Homo-oligomer: A and B are copies of this chain.
Amino acid sequence: MSANETQQPSPTHDSAFLKACRREPVPHTPVWFMRQAGRSLPEYRKVREGVPMLESCMRPDLITEITLQPVRRYNVDAAIYFSDIVVPLKAIGVDLDIKPGVGPVVAHPIRTRADLAQLRDLTPEDVWYVTEAIGLLTRELGATPLIGFAGAPFTVASYLVEGGPSRTYENAKAMMYGDPELWADLLDRLADITAAFLKVQIEAGASAVQLFDSWVGALAPADYRRSVMPASAKVLEAVAGYGVPRIHFGVGSGELLRLMGEAGADVVGVDWRVPLDEAARRIGPGKALQGNLDPTVLFAPKETVEEKTREVLDAAADLEGHVFNLGHGVMPSIDPDALTRLAEYVHTQTAR
């Protein structure tokens, strides 16, 4: 199937979410929440009982159910495909697991050129469950758009090189500084894998994609531009022909916002540290913005949540396009009812 053939009229085309991404007028500011599916939901904890994380990302029935749970509950304007950033690595045979309470752990971290051999190309057959799940999902979702999901090359590389989660990314950055050619080759290979993973999702029916470069905020702008941006741009360029909005997000990325936009994003995700009006100044014209309520605000009483949400909406008043979201993922210990109220509050406050 070619990129053009997928551009048929879609029931999601006129959704508030896709209109906002395209910077068109919207009936209300669309809302979704990063990590809206997951441990904060009792119905998620129930279906995950006894099922390891990676298995849940590779079973179409579970992917579908978990992706739909927050849509049923929160009246959000988009679903996001349930997965994990290491799923494409697992799919091509990298020996890794997601350990509860720890995160992704890689059996043989990539430190040398020989280690790159772990990374072969990803084919649609490697991730048959993605295609199957998205087929089920789009039928269920109807006019609600599904956002495709992938980790960006830097963030995926940080796990591959460190061997697991890190606070400092010292091994990844040591490679980036110490062996820039190996680093560039690693990121380029990850770019191809990531692009292939996103293409499968779009061809199966995803209406948008979000490239999560969650940990890229560890880098100074000069290093990002030189050592990371080319790979992220390659991913975003590879899916440009489908005409689906490309969201690009990182935590602590205040200094990188313009570059992350220039890498090929239609929508730049902003964490809670940078007010959206300031973010728009940094990013420049021609992009929608997504964000950016501090997720910890949801621990506060309703009045405080509304006051802080009002601050976000006020800062977003003059944006060309705004998708409301948290500034990072939903925390596992949050009360889901706070998210229900938040989605409703944003919808009510922004109804035109």
Chain A residues in the interface with B (C-beta under 8 A): 167-170, 173-174, 177-178, 217, 219-223, 252, 254-255, 272-275, 278, 294-297, 299-301, 304, 308, 311, 331, 333
Query: Which residue of B has the minimal Cβ distance to A223?
Result: B294
Q: Complex formed: what's the CA distance from A275 to B297 in Å?
A: 30
- Least CB distance, A37 to chain B, in whole angstroms: 19
> Which 7 residue pairs are nearest across A and B when measured between Cβ atoms?
A177-B300, A174-B299, A173-B296, A178-B300, A254-B254, A255-B273, A170-B296
Closest to A255 in B: B273
Task: Given A177-B304, A178-B301, A301-B178, verify A275-B170 contact (CB < 8 Å).
Answer: no
* Distance A178 CA – B296 CA, assembled complex (angstroms): 10
**Chain copies in the assembly?**
2
* A217 CB contacts on chain B under 8 angstroms: 252, 273
A223 CB contacts on chain B under 8 angstroms: 294
A177 to chain B, nearest CB (A): 3
Residues of B within 8 A of A275 (CB): 220-222
The secondary structure that dominates the A interface is helix
Answer whether A177 and B311 are a contact pair too, CB < 8 Å, given A221-B275, A274-B255, A331-B170: no
Complex contact A222–B299 (CB within 8 A): no
Nearest chain B CB to A171 CB, angstrom units: 8
Residues of B within 8 A of A295 (CB): 168
Q: Besides A168-B295, A177-B304, 18 other CB < 8 A contacts? A: A168-B296, A169-B296, A170-B296, A173-B294, A173-B296, A174-B296, A174-B299, A177-B296, A177-B300, A177-B308, A178-B301, A217-B252, A221-B273, A222-B275, A222-B311, A223-B294, A255-B274, A255-B278
Q: Contacts of A174 on B, CB cut-off 8 Å?
A: 296, 299-300
**Most B CB atoms within 10 A — which of A167, A174, A331?**
A174
Q: What CA separation (Å) do A296 and B183 show in the bound complex?
A: 15
Which residue from chain B places its CB closest to the CB of A251 in the assembled complex? Answer: B252
Q: Cβ of A333: which chain B residues have Cβ within 8 Å of it?
A: 170
Which chain B positions have C-beta within 8 A of A311?
222
Q: Is the Cβ of A273 less than 8 Å from the Cβ of B220?
A: yes
Shortest beta-carbon distance from A120 to chain B in Å: 29
14 A-B contact pairs sorted by A residue (CB < 8 Å): A167-B167, A170-B331, A174-B299, A177-B304, A178-B304, A220-B273, A220-B274, A222-B275, A222-B311, A223-B294, A252-B252, A254-B273, A255-B274, A255-B278
Known: A222-B311, A223-B294, A275-B221. A178 touches B252 (CB 8 A): no
CB-CB under 8 A for A299 and B252, given A220-B275, A311-B222: no
Q: Give complex CA distance A221, B292 in Å.
A: 13
Q: Closest CB-CB distance, A324 to chain B, in whole Å? A: 16
**CB closest chain-B residue, reference A292:** B220
